Copies of this chain bind each other. A is one copy, B any other.
Amino acid sequence: MALEHAILVSLLERPGSGYELARRFERSIGRFWTATHQQIYRVLKRMETDGWVTGEEVGQDGRPDKRSFTVTGSGRDTLVEWLRAPVAPEAVRHELAVKIRGAAFTDDTGRAELLAEVERYRADHETLLTTYLNGEKRDFPDPMTLDAGQRLQHVVLRGGIAYERMLLDWLDDVLDTLRAL
């Protein structure tokens, strides 16, 4: 129930089309809120009907036309209102943790396969950490000169970095535990 709000934040940071939003959700916004293009187009349509955003046709050459969306005053009010509401406790869904506890009920072969899968998963997150660190160097090279919005974006990115580092450490702990069984 907050994809609307994630879209509002992203469009306030910079107006854009559904397609552009989908790309952002694969990159920066996607670090803390994922969404597919299908979902984005549907929600965007509802938000337009509700008067939270307005779409403007933009002709492009060499590319299909697009509709660029901007947040209205009413949309901004909606966001500000939502910011005041308490943060809902998140629904935790950590599949890997289920599998690790499940490893107690399979044989050596199954455990070896899980171990390999954890290693693959770890490699993915190592790549992700590198991407975050490169993004940090690129987007926030001089932390002293940032405006309010950039400082907030930066602290969220630092959260992603801290999460990935914690995860990698824990995965090493998991690998050691699986190997020692």
Contact = CB atoms under 8 A, between A and B. Distances in A.
Interface in A132-155: 148-149, 151-155
Nearest to A153: B101
Given A76-B105, A110-B80, A34 B98 contact: no
A47 B82 CA distance: 39
Interface stretch (A5-13, A51-59, A61-69): A5-13
B92 A156 contact: no
Copies of chain A in the complex: 2
A interface: dominant SS? helix
Given A100-B152, A155-B174, A158-B173, 15 more contacts: A9-B105, A12-B105, A32-B94, A33-B93, A34-B91, A80-B110, A82-B99, A83-B99, A84-B113, A88-B95, A100-B156, A103-B152, A151-B180, A152-B177, A162-B170
